[in-house]
Amino acid sequence: MKTVDHKCPSCNASINYNPKDKNWVCEYCGSKFTLEQLEENEKNFKETNVNNSKELKKEKEVKKESDDNQEIEMDEYYCEDCGARIVADKNTAATFCVYCKNTAILKSRLTEKFSPSKIIPFTKTKEEAIEAFKKVGKGRFLMPKEFSDSKNIKEITGVYVPFWLYTCKMNGNVDGKGTRVTSWSTSDYLYTKTDTYSVSRNGNYSFEKIPVDGSVRFNDAVMNSIEPFNYEELTNFSYSYLSGFLAEKYDVEKDEAKKITIDRAKSTCLSDLETKIRTSGYNTFVPTKKDTKIDEEVIDYVLLPVWMLNIKYNEKIYTFAMNGQTGKMIGDIPYSKKKMVLFWILLFIVIFAVVAFITYML
């Protein structure tokens, strides 16, 4: 299987994309290169039949048992730089050799229907992601030690997550019965008058790039929580952006993603129309008919940057994710039961000492 393993044109060391410089930087000789320079260099290599990309030869298919006792099909390769064993599942499109740290981009897995049209490159570095995670835990003295262990924190990984982006124009219509209540009183009686109306509200809506996580591996609630991305920074896909990061190809099919996004668009459209009716002078409103019509729909397959960190505590995996473009981070940190018990013991000792001191002074 062909892979892309970008090498520095100056010294032939491994070269990765640097989000801070927005260039490709060689950590060995310090050289920096633009995307245009890398593409020109790759073109020259092809013309001279010199290919610095490595080929990972698939030795065999292996099966690995997941946590829920389901078998996962895995492919086994060997790194030609150092000979180490590399195992990747069917959806992995870019990974690392755990020994020499060279990027292995499985190019054939991002071709044809799996070829992304666009990508948002990382703008947040690993150091920034680590600092953001540390801020989440700052001041939480009941936090388990696993969440402050530098070895765990350094495992934070940049991943290009597959997303479907849905764009459409939608016409919505809501019909129903609305009431308006008027009250007045005389010296003897209180009167209430209820007028009932047939109400109809219609509107046109444009939805731009509604995102749907294209991988079942990633928790949808987590991915939704780190939105939004700035889609103005979408750029044409290039394998070079994957250097130094992991990447996945989609396993949520286009039609399935389309249904999810259409449901989101319909819900937003009809909810907005109902809100406008209810806030236009009606005391009550009961919808009797709702419908929508979609025009000019487009769905794109893109890769979006996410920093991911998984920490296992008490047999449970806690996931933290940071938007690799905007820096928005989400994730919950549990409290340590041992630290909680110690806290209450210390609090009791302090209160007892204060009471004893006050009693002694009196």
Per residue in 15-38, pLDDT tens? 888 888 888 888 777 788 888 887
Q: What is the dihedral of CA 220, 331, 129, 152, to 10 degrees?
A: -110
Mean pLDDT of 241-258: 89
Which pLDDT does position 100 carry in this prediction? Answer: 60
Same domain, 224 and 322: yes
Query: Does residue 227 belong to any structural domain of this protein?
Result: yes
Give dist(CA 335, CA 321) in Å, integer. Answer: 19
pLDDT above 70 (res 79) = no
Same domain, 76 and 171: no
Same domain, 90 and 225: no
- Quick one: which H or E segment has residue 198? strand 190-213
Which pLDDT does position 289 carry in this prediction? Answer: 94
Same domain, 99 and 167: no
Number of domains in the chain: 2
Query: Does residue 297 belong to any structural domain of this protein?
Result: yes
| pTM of the shown model | 0.75
Query: Does residue 38 belong to any structural domain of this protein?
Result: yes
Query: Does residue 217 belong to any structural domain of this protein?
Result: yes
Alpha carbon separation from 137 to 94, 145, 156, 217 (Å, rounded):
30, 11, 15, 26
Mean pLDDT of 218-227: 87
Query: 362 versus 344: which is more confidently predicted?
Result: 344
Which pLDDT does position 239 carry in this prediction? Answer: 85
Q: Which of 132-136, 147-151, 180-184 has the lowest average pLDDT?
A: 147-151
Mean pLDDT of 208-228: 89
Same domain, 59 and 166: no
Give dist(CA 323, CA 329) in Å, integer. Answer: 6
Sequence-ordered list of residues with C-beta below 8 angstroms from that of 8, at least 6 positions apart, any chain = 14, 15, 26, 28, 29, 31, 33
Which pLDDT does position 83 carry in this prediction? Answer: 62
Query: Does residue 130 belong to any structural domain of this protein?
Result: no
Q: Which residues of 75-98 are buried (b: 16+ CB within 10 A; e: fewer)?
A: bebebbbeeeebebeebbbbbbbe
Query: 175 versus 187: which is more confidently predicted?
Result: 175
pLDDT above 80 (res 255) = yes
Residue type, 167: T
Which pLDDT does position 34 carry in this prediction? Answer: 85
Give dist(CA 71, CA 122) in Å, integer. Answer: 33
Alpha carbon separation from 161 to 202, 304, 331, 350 (Å, rounded):
37, 5, 17, 50
Query: Does residue 239 belong to any structural domain of this protein?
Result: yes
Q: Which of 25-34, 73-82, 253-262 has the lowest average pLDDT?
A: 73-82
Same domain, 178 and 291: yes
- The parent domain of residue 99 ranges over 3-110
Same domain, 320 and 177: yes
Q: Strands 15-18 and 23-26, how do they pair?
A: antiparallel
Q: Which of 136-150, 214-228, 290-304 has the lowest average pLDDT?
A: 136-150
What does pLDDT average to over the chain? 81
Same domain, 104 and 166: no
Same domain, 96 and 166: no
Give dist(CA 99, CA 142) in Å, integer. Answer: 36
152's tokens: 């765990």
Would you place residue 204 in the very low, low, confident or very high pLDDT band (cuts 50, 70, 90)? Answer: very high
Alpha-helix runs per DSSP H in the chain: 35-47, 126-137, 150-153, 220-225, 254-278, 337-361
Would you place residue 324 in the very low, low, confident or very high pLDDT band (cuts 50, 70, 90)? Answer: very high
Same domain, 106 and 168: no
Same domain, 243 and 167: yes
Which DSSP category does 113 fall into?
G
Query: Does residue 349 belong to any structural domain of this protein?
Result: no
Query: Does residue 91 belong to any structural domain of this protein?
Result: yes
Residue 46 CB-half CA count within 13 A = 7
Same domain, 172 and 80: no
Q: Could you tell me what percent of the chain has a pLDDT over 90?
A: 35
pLDDT above 90 (res 94) = no
